[in-house]
Amino acid sequence: MDKNTVIGLVIIGVILSVFTIFNQPTEEELKEQQAKKELTEQRKAENKKNTKEATHEDNKAEVKDSSSTETEVIDTNTVALTAEVKSTTPLASEIIRMENEKLIVDFDTKGGQISSVYLKEFETYHDFAKDDGKITPLALFRKGDATNHLIIPMDGKEINTAKEIFTVKSKTNDKIVFQLKKEENQVVEFVYHFNKDAYDIDYSINLRGFSGKVTPQNVVFNWEVAMRKTERLFSEQRRVSTVCYNYKNEGFSWLSEMGDDEEEAEDNIEWVNFKQGYFSSFLKAESSFAKKGSSFKIDTYDANEEKDWTHLKDFSTSLNLNLKSVDNASVHMNWFFGPNDDSVLESYNAGYEDILNYGWGLFRWINIYAVQPMFEVLGSTGMSIGIAILLLTFIIKFALMPIQWKMYVSSAKMRILKPEIEEINNKFPDKADAMKKQMETMALYKESGASPLSGCVPMLIQMPILLAVFRFFPSTFALRQESFLWAEDLSSYDSIYDFGFNIWMYGDHISLFTLLMAGTTLVYTFINSGNMQTPQQPGMPNMKVIMYFFPILMIFFFNNYSSGLSYYYFISTLLSILIMLMIKYFFVDEDKLKLKMANRKAAAAASPKKKGKSKFQERLEQMQKAQLEQQNRKKKK
């Protein structure tokens, strides 16, 4: 880490602090938010009152978790509906619950829409920490968090299905059909079909009788969700939450994860994804959504908003259904509600796995084609995830051992030449002799068979792997709620002591894996510090100071990161130290290496005719002559 990087990190911290201060809402905004809150509470109270009047007590069930309130539900196990139900408009909305082996879904007759989604196999960190021996289904969103509806422009007005009360036309154990009848035999039907033992639901929209009243290209489907907190570290889950989408021709894209963002569609759309850390909601069209009129948006919350403590962000999209007719039209889609698990996402053969943030370019390829396959093989054996990470680290480090060997030999050569290089520096102390010093140094490298670049190239080979795993572990679902040693959840930070208050730029806890990682990095830096030269020119940064500062910076940077990542870096650095010591004491004899370099220098000195000049040396001489001529011209002036 160079001086500019350190300065950059400090500037970023200052910018974020200033942004937070100036982004506080004004008094007028606070009053507006309070008015909206009161109106929302009033509407909730009215809906609850109407629902109680319309629903029989025997058809109620409670949906509970750590922060939920009572919601009236018609349980599919206790309510029998005939195959055909007479179309009558109820006085108020009802909640109808259906489920399969993976999902629990609540449907609201108001809008005929999905109201709540629960995942049976998973639970929030809050419920996981209870360690009560049972799984409390994880809520992706609850009643009031989401809406999915049609906007049908007609006769200068519009039909918004979210405001309409639908009837249940038919229902079986795995299928339900909602129907809305308007004047002149106009019909809207929403059909939901649960797939067996799967995270997805087939979804169809049927329109009849709108010909001549509605332009097909103007019918839009709106989907809005306020995703809920599910993980331990709220800030980290919020940071990686965003809206992703896949264009038919232009491919995968996404909105910014850092703040509010929106985009008009640039191509026809195959699917849209609302991603919230380790879980996602997808909506995929059988045939693409049209580009015209389609858009994506993500909104963050102000610090004083109520949702800022319970929800991640507001996700929304408007999708043109690409209809050719509205007289007897059907649109077929598929909804996915499930984990961001690579194997699960890949099983849908739709490119869903692209949402996993494994990095870009080379880093992503390393993760997909090297790190991930090895990790999956190790995990498939049934061993704990902590042991799998340990073995993965061993495999990677020993695969890179030849590179570390090359780096050590190069550093040993530079260490042997260090006294001679210092003599050259003392010989040419003036800036005017910089070219002569450079040429003599290069000649020394060539004669002895050493090169400073021979140590840099192997490091450049290792760096992509080091950076690739930085994205791999925080994005890997297999680490979620997996414990190892003192870390109860490898996908989140480990804590050996909680302060009870927050320390700026550090956190409210002490992560032991982070301290171990920083400690081994400090030891590794100390071992290699002998190869770092003190800058000879004033104003040049002292690399020794910077490299010792880096492990300290890591303590602050990684304290809130995935403990699985810190654990990997700790083991990786520890193995680097052990491998270096093995090479030093058992495989490389520095005395023999020194003798070999001396013999090479002697042979070069004995055969000056064969020595010749490299093209690089010739260019240096030309630059030196040009520099001397420029200095002479300045002196004459």
Instruction: Enumerate the β-bridge partners of residue 247.
Output: 251, 269
Q: Check residue 64 and give its pLDDT.
A: 39
| Residue-range domain boundaries for the chain | 26-356, 365-493+563-606
Instruction: Check residue 543 and give its pLDDT.
Output: 57
* β 74-75/95-99 pair status: parallel
Mean pLDDT, the chain, rounded, equals: 80
DSSP 156-187: TEEEEGGGSBPEEEEE-SSEEEEEEEETTTEE
Taking only the tens place, the pLDDT of each residue in 269-307 is: 999 999 988 999 999 999 999 999 999 999 999 888 889
Cα dist. 127→39, 66, 137, 191 in Å?
Answer: 31, 7, 9, 33
pLDDT tens, position by position, 466-501: 889 999 998 999 999 999 999 999 999 999 999 988
**How far is 333 from 286, CA to CA, in rounded Å?**
5
pTM: 0.75
Per residue in 406-429, pLDDT (tens digit) is 777 777 777 777 777 777 777 777
Q: Determine the average pLDDT of the residues in 163-173.
A: 95
Contact 152, 206 (CB under 8 A): no
Q: What amino acid occupies position 39?
A: L
Q: Which CATH number describes the domain made up of 26-356? A: 2.70.98.90
pLDDT band for position 542 (cuts 50, 70, 90): low
